[in-house]
Structures are given as C-alpha cells and as structure tokens.
C-alpha cells in the first residue's frame, strides 16, 4: 500500500513516493522507524518504484543486478527485460506466480513505475508495459494522486511540483500512505 507517481512535462520527468509501509490491514511502519523508507531506487539511468508486497523491493533490485544485460529505455526493451526477470523471480526468489485461474499468463505480482531520460513507464503484473505521455500513479493512494495531478497538469507547475501534489493528495486521504515523500527529477533526452 502506497502512493507512487510519475510525471512528464516539458523537458523534465519526476518520480515521487510516500514513505509508509503497511503490513496487512492494521500495522504501519512510518519513516521515522524505517531506515530504508525511500521506495525509489536507481538502476542505470532509470529510477524505479514498486507497489505490492514489501518483499518486491529487494527482489527486483537483486534480480536486475543479476541480469547480464538489462534495458529500460523503451516500452519494448522494458518488456524484454521483465520477461528475463520473471523466471528469476520464481527460481531464485520463490515468487508464487498464481493469481486468478483464468489469467492468460503467470503474474510477476508487482506494479512498477520507471522514470528515465526517455520518459515515464509502468509495468503491470503480467508484464504489460505502458509508455505514459503525461502522468500516472500506482498504489492504494493512486486515485487521489491521479485527481490532483489531473487538476494541476495544465498549470504552470513543473513535473516535480505536480508529482509532489500527487503524493501529498495520496498521503492526505489514503490510510496506507503518509509523508514525508521522496521525489527525484531527470531531464528528458533530446529527441533525434
């Protein structure tokens, strides 16, 4: 449970996340008790954040490091990388790929947002990859974040400021999200 957002505006991309970890329905770990409350991590020139089980954070970081080659530069490259990761999730980290009986594919059990100099992307549990044009949010606070970012996007605010508004809205109204937040920005690469 969390609020994680990505925003693309002008020549800037931003990724931001709240800092609360929630265990089940009745326990929370606030940033003051968690030495590693930053939900965003770096992989090459990309910044990633995960929604789902707290175990996904270290699993994804370790699995990415174990790949001989990884590419997060485009929708297709991200798909290929996550297809390489899926067997590692199962074999090395004991992930259970079952969700619904009628699912067409095994699940990777996580939602991931990615920001890098080529844009903002989302990866969903069956390795669906989206290349977002403006903004997106995942986690239990996503609806509040999406509304706040929608309302602010056409204003003079920067990608960073819009991302901050999204996380603040999630933290204000979602019981599984809280401040402080972490936010990072990158410049978009010039298109050739």
Cβ atoms within 10 Å, residue 165? 22
CB 123 within 8 A of CB 138: no
Could you give the CA distance from residue 37 to residue 168 in angstroms, rounded to a whole number? 16
pLDDT at 100: 73
Cβ atoms within 10 Å, residue 130? 14
Could you give the CA distance from residue 16 to residue 9 in angstroms, rounded to a whole number? 14
**Any residues with CB less than 8 A from the CB of 62 and at least 6 apart, and which?**
92, 93
pLDDT at 35: 86
pLDDT at 61: 79
pLDDT at 110: 82
| CA distance from start to end of the chain | 39
pLDDT at 58: 80
**Domains in the chain, CATH or no CATH each:** 3-186 (3.60.20.10)
pTM over 0.85, yes/no: yes
Residues of the chain with pLDDT under 70: 91-93, 95-97, 103, 105-107, 126, 192
According to DSSP H, which parts of the chain are helical?
56-66, 75-93, 142-153, 159-173
């Amino acid at each position: 449970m969390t609020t994680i957002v990505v925003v693309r505006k002008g020549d800037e991309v931003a990724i931001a996340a709240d800092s609360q970890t929630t265990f089940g329905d009745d326990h929370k770990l606030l940033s003051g008790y968690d030495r590693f409350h930053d939900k965003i991590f770096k992989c090459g020139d990309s910044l990633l954040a995960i929604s789902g089980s707290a175990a996904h954070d270290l699993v994804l970081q370790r699995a990415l490091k174990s790949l001989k080659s990884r590419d997060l530069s485009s929708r297709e490259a991200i798909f290929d990388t996550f297809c390489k990761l899926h067997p590692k999730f199962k074999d090395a980290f004991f992930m259970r790929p079952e969700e619904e009986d009628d699912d067409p594919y095994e699940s990777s059990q996580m939602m991931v947002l990615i920001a890098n100099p080529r844009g903002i992307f989302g990866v969903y549990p069956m390795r669906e990859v989206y290349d977002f044009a403006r903004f997106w949010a995942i986690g239990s606070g996503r609806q509040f974040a999406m509304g706040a970012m929608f309302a602010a996007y056409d204003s003079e605010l920067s990608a960073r400021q819009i991302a901050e508004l999204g996380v603040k809205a999630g933290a204000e109204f979602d019981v599984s999200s809280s401040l402080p937040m972490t936010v990072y920005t990158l410049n978009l690469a010039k298109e050739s």
